[in-house]
Homo-oligomer: A and B are copies of this chain.
Amino acid sequence: MPKKGILERLRDGVVIGDGGFVFALEKRGYVKAGPWTPEAACEHPEAVKQLHREFLRAGSDVMQAFTFYASDDKLENRGHYAQKSLTGKSINKAASKLARDVANEGDALVAGGMCQTPTYLSGIGKEATQKMFQVQLDAFIEEDVDFLICEYFEHVEEAEWAIEVCKKSGKPVAGTMCIGPEGDLHGVTAGECAVRLAKAGADIVGVNCHFDPQISLECISKMKEGLDAAGLKPYLMAQPLAYHTPDCNKQGFIDLPEFPFALEPRICTRWDMHKYARDAYNLGVRYIGGCCGFEAYHVRAIAEELAEERGAKPAGSDKHGMWGQELKMHTKPWVRARANKEYWETTKPATGRPYSASMAKPAGWGITQGNEELKQHAEGTTSDELQHVRDIASSKK
């Protein structure tokens, strides 16, 4: 019996997405921070599969194939040379198969995803950029994924180009941008971005990455206003960071001095995710998932918060009482006393970091597509180039 499709699921209820693969697998030792590309789908399939399984147990309805940044131009960017042994197509096919294997261990769907490209960032134009998307799409079609996700776009123009390519496949398409309430990096407002995504053909519209749950929902709220004003009704989707980012500018967490190796103090708790799930649901978001920083327990918290709406708790809740109930089995009485919702809802966690401030000044270079500094190249970054960017960084302090 065929599985129910993504659009039908969204029509009838709430769909729970998965979490962030590149950050989780970087910590586990399978992904390079910097390039953030998904060779592990070919190199370490068991590790990728295990992560899919964790999200499935946690309640994810979608296994998004691990194909982030798998465009061929990215695989050979700045001395990365992953492209020497692997192509974007081979990664996408392998990743789709892994996702399908695990999806079939439950009732989940498989999504193929693609994102922003160095080609666009370097200003090489529409045709070249769309070719990057087409290659990736071909792999997804061959593997017959259930739907497509065009995500992590900083410029709505590039997102439109991706959606345009994907729409030709006839499969449902989701389009999300890594923007906040201030809009895209070319200055297009969040509301206008949403309208343009929908008009380009996205059945599902929203945001992913770059901002924390609360700020992402602020952005979606603005997107919704824009869509309502334009009389458009795509489904809404949120896949935010699991990092608190109250101090970000429009470039998001990339600009924070802690990115990417000192973000730990910003990691959201499971209780932050209860709030996120409820707020997203109340705002009308029906595809609720996560991006970088989201691990299985964050997704499970979404599923537990929405257990009533969804009619069931996820499999992984067999190891987790709602709101800390299993603490009743702890040996220490003062920990047993914490087995209740009120305790966890009101605790403001101490940071254990007396030498840390709560907010940071983002790097704030304020450059975007079209700027010379952003042109990409296949060769490795030279010492001179490195000194050049360090000099600029110093001058901006």
Chain A residues with CB under 8 Å of chain B are 26-35, 46-47, 50, 53-54, 57-58, 77-80, 118, 121, 212, 243-247, 254-271, 295-297, 300, 316, 319-321, 324, 326-340, 344, 347-361, 363, 365, 367, 373-374, 376, 380-381, 385-386, 389-390, 392-393
| Bound CA–CA A179/B355 (angstroms) | 24
Distance (Å) between the CB of A39 and the closest chain B CB?
Answer: 9
Distance (Å) between the CB of A75 and the closest chain B CB?
Answer: 11
| Bound CA–CA A354/B359 (angstroms) | 5
Complex contact B300–A337 (CB within 8 A): no
Q: What residues on B are CB-neighbors of A348 within 8 Å?
A: 353, 355-357
Q: What residues on B are CB-neighbors of A353 within 8 Å?
A: 244, 265-266, 348-349, 351, 357-358
Beyond A354-B357, A358-B356, A365-B333, whether A297 also contacts B54 by CB under 8 A is no
Q: Which residue of B lies closest to A342 (CB)?
A: B390
Q: What residues on B are CB-neighbors of A373 within 8 Å?
A: 333
| Bound CA–CA A329/B266 (angstroms) | 24
Q: Which residue of B lies closest to A330 (CB)?
A: B34
| Bound CA–CA A260/B392 (angstroms) | 32
| Bound CA–CA A246/B271 (angstroms) | 24
Q: How many copies does the complex hold?
A: 4
Q: What residues on B are CB-neighbors of A32 within 8 Å?
A: 319-321, 326, 329
Distance (Å) between the CB of A263 and the closest chain B CB?
Answer: 7
Q: What residues on B are CB-neighbors of A31 within 8 Å?
A: 319
- Having A32-B320, A355-B358, one finds 15 other A-B pairs with CB under 8 Å, namely A28-B54, A29-B316, A29-B320, A35-B330, A46-B50, A263-B349, A265-B267, A266-B352, A331-B376, A332-B374, A337-B392, A350-B359, A351-B357, A355-B359, A356-B357
Distance (Å) between the CB of A51 and the closest chain B CB?
Answer: 9
| Bound CA–CA A326/B81 (angstroms) | 12
Complex contact B328–A380 (CB within 8 A): yes
Q: Pick the contact of A270 from B121, B261, B319, B360 — CB < 8 Å?
A: B261
| Bound CA–CA A363/B337 (angstroms) | 11
Complex contact A328–B29 (CB within 8 A): no
Q: What residues on B are CB-neighbors of A350 within 8 Å?
A: 247, 256-258, 265-266, 356-360
Beyond A33-B327, A261-B324, A331-B77, whether A319 also contacts B47 by CB under 8 A is no
Complex contact A374–B28 (CB within 8 A): no
Complex contact A264–B258 (CB within 8 A): no
Q: Which residue of B lies closest to A268 (CB)?
A: B264
Complex contact A267–B269 (CB within 8 A): no
Q: Pick the contact of A328 from B321, B355, B358, B386 — CB < 8 Å?
A: B386
Q: What residues on B are CB-neighbors of A243 within 8 Å?
A: 352
| Bound CA–CA A27/B278 (angstroms) | 21
Beyond A269-B261, A359-B352, whether A254 also contacts B329 by CB under 8 A is no
Could you list 27 examples of A-B contacts with CB < 8 Å? Answer: A27-B295, A27-B296, A29-B316, A31-B319, A32-B320, A34-B335, A35-B330, A46-B50, A79-B329, A118-B331, A212-B352, A245-B352, A254-B332, A257-B350, A258-B347, A258-B350, A262-B269, A265-B350, A265-B353, A266-B349, A329-B380, A329-B381, A331-B376, A334-B365, A337-B392, A348-B355, A351-B351
Q: What residues on B are CB-neighbors of A246 within 8 Å?
A: 352, 354
Q: What residues on B are CB-neighbors of A320 within 8 Å?
A: 29, 32-33
Distance (Å) between the CB of A105 and the closest chain B CB?
Answer: 11
Q: Which residue of B lies closest to A251 (CB)?
A: B332
Beyond A46-B50, A353-B265, whether A334 also contacts B392 by CB under 8 A is yes
